[in-house]
Amino acid sequence: MTRPATLLAAALLVACGDARDASPPRTADEALAAATAAKTLPPERYVSPTAGFDLTLPGVWKGRYRAIEKKDTTAGAHLAVEFRFLPDSGSRAPSLTLMTLRVFSKAAWAKASTPNPVGAPLGERGDDVFVLSLPHENPYPPTSREAPAYDLLIISLSQGGQQVHLTPHAQP
C-alpha cells in the first residue's frame, strides 16, 4: 500500500464514532463499515460570535477542533477564524491549524484572488466574501498518533455529503 493510501486507511479507522479511544476495526469489512458510519454522523455546527455566520462541518469534527476568531490582515482580510486540531487528551502534541476562514471585503478579495488566491470563496454577504484556506500538508509527523486523525478531518471536508457549508446571517 502506498503512503497516501495507508494514511487514508488509518484516517478512516480513526473515524469509528464519537469515542476517540475506540479499538480499530479488525477486518477490512469492519473498516468499511466504520468509514460508512462516519459519513452518517450528524453534522457539526460552528456559529461565529463575531463574523455572523454558521459553518456546517462533517460530524467527525465534533470535539476535535477549537475555533479562534481574530483580526487578520492576510492578503487584505479583516477577520480570520482559525480552526485548530485538538489532539487527544494526554497528548503532548501541539494544537495546529486545520483550516482558516477569512472574511474579505469584495474589493480586497478581488485583489487577493489573483494570481495566487489564499483560499476558495464559500459565500458572500453584502460586501463580505468568506474564503476558506486549507493546509498544503499535514503538519504532524507521519508516524504520530495525531497524523491519521488530522488527515481524517481534512479528508472529510471533501467526501460526498460531508462538505463544508457556510450560512451567513443577515446583516443588522
Task: Kindly report, residue by residue over 1-50, the tens digit of the pLDDT.
Answer: 433 333 333 333 333 334 344 543 344 454 345 455 667 788 899 999 88
Task: State the pLDDT at residue 145.
Answer: 85
- Looking at residue 93, what DSSP letter applies? -
- Looking at residue 165, what DSSP letter applies? E
Q: pLDDT at residue 169 above 70? A: yes
Q: Dump pLDDT digits (tens) for 39-50.
A: 778 889 999 988
Q: Dump pLDDT digits (tens) for 84-103.
A: 999 988 889 999 999 999 99
Task: State the pLDDT at residue 57.
Answer: 93
Place of cell 456559529: 47
Residue, of 78 and 24, whose pLDDT is higher:
78
Whether the Cβ atoms of residue 7 and residue 14 lie closer than 8 Å to each other? no
Helix/strand/coil for 132: strand
CA-angle at 54, arms to 13 and 138, nearest 5°: 35
Task: State the pLDDT at residue 147.
Answer: 87
